[in-house]
Structure 1
Amino acid sequence: MVRWWSMRLWGAHLLGLVCVSIAVGMGVWQYDAWQARRDAERIDLTHAEPVAITEVIGPDDPFPTVGLGRPVEVRGTFLPEGTVLVSGRAGEKGRDGDWLVTPITVGDASAPAVPVVRGWVPTGTDLASLPAPPAGEVDLVGWLQPPEGSGQADDDPRDDVLPELRIADLVQRVDQDLYGAYVVAEEPLPGDAAAGVDGATLDQLPQASRFTGLRNILYAIEWWVFAAFAVFLWFRYVRDATSGRALDEADAEAGEDAVVRSDP
């Protein structure tokens, strides 16, 4: 009789263990991501002491949860060819407006760059009428934010007005790689302020989708359901294999007894 822990079933046991371990591990990972988002929402870093942006995120790093809203210092050179307006930013008294955004290198002129929200202008402002960013090396302080990307369509991809601050849209306009983040300048640059560009604020950020955090916990539940299903398949396979073999052996033994009894 083949038992559950027979060597013939070790392959099934090993495969089941691997599938369950992977599914449980992925579920735990998604749960930790969900919990990290919840923890980040409870912490207000906007009034913390500024640190160099390189201490929080690297050019190829995903956005760190602990960096949300963190004041960072950036020193580099603006890339005026990457200047765009980002629409849908309500100003004071609910006025419709746009963000003025230009990437700035983090380091020398050939280093990767990070988009910087230089300020706010009323909707309908012509980008050509706005001042170019200062030339040469610039120091600024701003709040670090993750890139946007809710999938909102761009009605006119040929103009310089974007519906969201998406890194994929900006990277096509400059030669440098871009960080997976952007910075909202705490104060407008001197030339921008003189031209009537108002300071941008975090209140002008679009409302974050609640589904962003919910998605992680739903993925975790999905992985754990898959783990339970893998356990069910393993149990059914082993049970059928052992019961089937046991019945075959019982039939064989019954046949042998019948032959022995029939012999004179």
Structure 2
Amino acid sequence: MVRPQWIALLALSLVVAGLFAWLGQWQLGRAIDTAPLPPGATEEVRPLADVSEPGEYLPEPFVGQRVSVTGTWVPGDFIIVASRFNEGVEGYWVTGQLRISDTAPPTSIAVAVGWAPTQDAADAAAERLNADAAAGSAPMAIEGRLISDEGAVPPPSGADPQTLTRMSPAALLSRWSDTAGLEVYRSYIVAEVPQGGLDEIVSAPPEAGSAVNWLNIFYAAEWVIFAGFAFYLWYRLARDAWEKEVEDLEDARAASSD
């Protein structure tokens, strides 16, 4: 184990373990940085640009933050998301692409504009909203809660392949029009005032969070384990090589005695 190659491998293990330790410390810092906001802070309506930026993940303390933004609807981009529950009743959301005013490059955010109890009602509302957007309208102010991307999932077995069951701006972006050079928010807004004859989406204030972000604590513990594994891997490789050398010497002695 004191041979040059094993000393060099140990030095490499120290570097790797040091990197993992730094990542663990960074995760612990994140656990502190993401402490919850003061009680009631999410109920204060804030400009969207003050809370999040296009392309960024929504920080945990701001999930459910009430925000405001002004923009225009992009015609043809009102899309239905299925399996949405409103006060325990399953139904459908109608979502739209809101092109935010006065942004360069052009920037959009997905907005859930309302809830419908049936597919037919959702289809009719989407058709009305698309027609209104195509006719042209002045920019409008939208207020609502800012929510994190739920992540795209495949449609249920046997369903239409175009069926969406999760509210995912990334999945909606693939179906939007006029997206060349477009920047998009990863989060989405649940509008407080429904449109197109839809029902209001009931969106309760977020519950008060813990002062400790346990997910980041878990990640920090993982990095510590990885750092320990780097040393263990060096030890096993060196020990296996040493044991093989001992076996070879014993075999050589046995052969010479014969």
User: Which TM-score applies when normalising by structure 2?
Assistant: 0.70
- Give the alignment's Cα RMSD to 1 decimal: 3.8
Change (3 A) 1:46 1:219: closer
Unpaired segments ≥5 residues, structure 1 = 206-212, 242-264
Contact 2:37 2:61 in 1 (8 A): no
Residue 91 of structure 1 and its aligned partner are, at CA, apart by 2.5
Q: Secondary structure in 2 aligned to 1:14?
A: helix
Q: 1:157 aligns with which of 153, 161, 172?
A: 161
Q: Does 1:20 align with 2:17?
A: yes
| Cα distance in structure 1, aligned partners of 2:40 and 2:8 | 51
Residue 76 of structure 1 and its aligned partner are, at CA, apart by 0.8
Per the alignment, residue 71 of structure 2 pairs with 76
Residue 157 of structure 1 and its aligned partner are, at CA, apart by 2.6
Greater radius of gyration (CA):
1
Per the alignment, residue 192 of structure 2 pairs with 186
| Cα distance in structure 2, aligned partners of 1:123 and 1:45 | 35
Per the alignment, residue 209 of structure 2 pairs with none
Change (3 A) 1:44 1:69: farther
Residue 74 of structure 1 and its aligned partner are, at CA, apart by 0.8
Per the alignment, residue 139 of structure 2 pairs with 137
Residue 7 of structure 1 and its aligned partner are, at CA, apart by 9.3
Change (3 A) 1:86 1:236: closer
Per the alignment, residue 202 of structure 1 pairs with 203
| Cα distance in structure 1, aligned partners of 2:228 and 2:75 | 55
Q: Secondary structure in 2 aligned to 1:82?
A: coil
Cα deviation, 1:21-52, whole Å, max 9, x if unaligned, reads 12222334445556667x4499664412x111
User: What letter matches 1:227 in structure 2?
Assistant: A
Q: Does 1:96 align with 2:97?
A: no
Cα deviation, 1:47-67, whole Å, max 9, x if unaligned, reads 12x111111111122222232
Contact 1:81 1:173 in 2 (8 A): no
Per the alignment, residue 50 of structure 2 pairs with 55
The structure in which a higher percent of residues are strand is 2
Cα deviation, 1:95-146, whole Å, max 9, x if unaligned, reads 2211111110122487211011111111223444212155331111111000
Change (3 A) 1:80 1:35: farther
| Cα distance in structure 1, aligned partners of 2:77 and 2:28 | 37
| Cα distance in structure 2, aligned partners of 1:147 and 1:55 | 18
User: What letter matches 2:72 in structure 1?
Assistant: T
**Residue correspondences, number:** 225
Change (3 A) 1:151 1:34: farther
User: Which TM-score applies when normalising by structure 1?
Assistant: 0.68
User: What letter matches 2:155 in structure 1?
Assistant: A
Which structure 2 residues correspond to residues 32-43 of structure 1 after superposition, within 5 A?
39-40=35-36
Q: Does 1:125 align with 2:120?
A: yes
User: What letter matches 1:188 in structure 2?
Assistant: P
Percent pairwise identity: 28
| Cα distance in structure 1, aligned partners of 2:26 and 2:161 | 37
Unpaired segments ≥5 residues, structure 2 = 207-212, 242-258
Q: Does 1:107 align with 2:101?
A: yes
Cα deviation, 1:157-215, whole Å, max 9, x if unaligned, reads 33xx41011122211222233210100111224xx3xx3x1111225x9xxxxxxx876
Contact 2:92 2:122 in 1 (8 A): no
Contact 2:17 2:227 in 1 (8 A): yes
